[in-house]
Amino acid sequence: MVNVEIEYDENNRLCSFIPKAVNQKIWRVFPDPKSDLIVLEIREKQEQKNISQLLILDNYKKQIVAMAEMEATQTLLTFFDETILLSEIDFQHEMPLAKGLKALNTDFETIWELEEVSYYGVIEEDNQNEPKVAFSLQSNYYSVPLKPNLEIEINTDKEQIEVIEEEYYNLKSKVKQYFYSTDEYLISHPNYKDISNFVFKKTNQNIQNSILYTENESYLICSYLVENEKQQNENYLLCTDKKGNLKTHFLISENIKKPQEIILMKSKILWIDGSRVFSKDINYSI
């Protein structure tokens, strides 16, 4: 099983979750927008096979909640309202495809399962209490409740869930965006100069190479490299509000080639470097 070390500095509210084994890699990370839980898919190569595990972390209590092994052919799709969505990977195609949906609770018990469908997103509607999971089957789109009240069909003893046909163009407006992944701006990008000038104005640092940038309705973040006195690259993260007021600015890591993957949430930043995942609350400056 995965052995994860949790490092937490109470003064700066910076938390990191680090697998101790060198052959364990954090493959996918999904924070729950409805709770303080984060689910990680961790892959490990043992001899001639790959082993995958799911790990649930409590980002508020800074502790591991649960962990379980998952099938090597499965992959993590998302985590929403304490419900894990997995898919099977079809390796028979030239490009592996994710097919089928399985919903698990935080005890890793199966809530419902659908075969051959392709995941689209989670729908929340103002006039409904429970969110729905949207998926496609062939050229049509459907949805099922994320947490359905399952009924037993007497004649077949099978659990039945309500499937609703959806219009694709209506789905686009119903899938809310909770997370904002950064885009990479190369030196040749037309917006590169404006962003690098903004960073220099806020930090007095000259950027090396590309910049990772994203924003939501409240904040914007930049992840960038600068060269130190030892001619090594240092990766910094800058966060301001939409008016340009500094919220946080700190060194992520040293001696790396390029910025790492960054995810901006409502008021939290997560970043992943392949073997570690870090969490930082924007409201507490470093």
Segment 198-224, tens digit of pLDDT = 999 999 999 988 899 999 889 999 999
Higher pLDDT, 253 or 208: 208
Q: What is the distance between the alpha carbons of residues 171 and 164, in angstroms, rounded to a whole number?
A: 12
34-57: per-residue pLDDT in tens? 998 999 888 877 776 777 889 898
Task: Convert the pLDDT of each residue in 65-94 to its tens digit.
Answer: 898 988 878 889 999 999 999 998 776 666
59 band by pLDDT with thresholds 50, 70 and 90: confident
Per-residue confidence (pLDDT) for residue 112, from 0 to 100: 94
**How much is the pLDDT for 96?**
63
What pLDDT is recorded for position 156? 44
How many Å apart are CA 18 and CA 36, to the nearest integer? 18
Q: What angle do CA 188, 191, 192 make, to 5 degrees?
A: 55
pLDDT at 197 over 80: yes
pLDDT at 98 over 90: no
What pLDDT, on the 0 to 100 scale, is given for residue 153?
47
11-to-8, 22, 241, 264 alpha-carbon distances in Å:
9, 29, 22, 21
- Per residue in 101-123, pLDDT (tens digit) is 999 999 999 999 998 899 999 99
Strands 208-215 and 246-254: unpaired
Place of tokens 């399962």: 113
User: Residue 5: its pLDDT value, please?
Assistant: 61
The pLDDT, as a whole number, for residue 238 is 93
pLDDT at 263: 86
pLDDT computed for residue 107 by the predictor: 94
Six-digit token string for 224: 């960038």
CA separation for the pair 217, 58 (Å, rounded): 26
Instruction: Look at residue 9 in the predicted model and tell me its pLDDT.
Output: 55
In this predicted structure, what is the pLDDT of residue 71?
A: 83
pLDDT > 70: what percent of the chain? 79
**Pure H helices in the chain:** 168-174, 192-203
Higher-confidence position of 90 and 168: 168
pLDDT score of 284: 58
Rounded Cα distance, 132 and 240, in Å: 34
Distance CA 39, CA 71 (A): 16
Range with the lowest mean pLDDT among 28-37, 131-140, 173-182, 256-265? Answer: 256-265
**For residues 152 and 178, is the Cβ–Cβ distance under 8 A?**
no
Q: 8 - beta bridge partners?
A: 15
Mean predicted confidence (pLDDT) in 168-193: 88
Q: What is the pTM of this model?
A: 0.81
The single-letter DSSP state of residue 175 is B
Q: What is the mean pLDDT of the chain?
A: 82
pLDDT of residue 232: 82
